[in-house]
Amino acid sequence: MPNVIVTSHQAFLTNEALANIADTTLANVREFFEKDSCPNEVCYKCANIDNCKQTHEKKCF
């Protein structure tokens, strides 16, 4: 395939995207320490933390 160029997807490397990632991360850390929860927490066992039957206080771990 001499006419094919393969490049990586780097949209996350913009200043705006990196700022959004940092804001979300810091908000998650802040909420975890203030409320002992995280709005973006994912159940690693079933990915359904709101309805998981194996959760202990909405946490599978």
Output Rg (C-alpha) for the chain, integer angstroms: 18
Which residue from 24, 41, 13 is spatially nearest to 57, judged by alpha carbons? Answer: 41
Q: Quick one: tokens of 11?
A: 């949209």
Given this model, what pLDDT does residue 59 score? 57
Given this model, what pLDDT does residue 23 score? 94
Render pLDDT for 19-58 as a digit per residue (tens, 0 to 9): 998 999 999 889 888 987 776 776 666 666 566 655 555 5
pTM for the structure as a whole: 0.53
Given this model, what pLDDT does residue 5 score? 86
Given this model, what pLDDT does residue 19 score? 93
Given this model, what pLDDT does residue 20 score? 92
Which residue from 12, 38, 14, 37 is spatially nearest to 25, judged by alpha carbons? Answer: 38
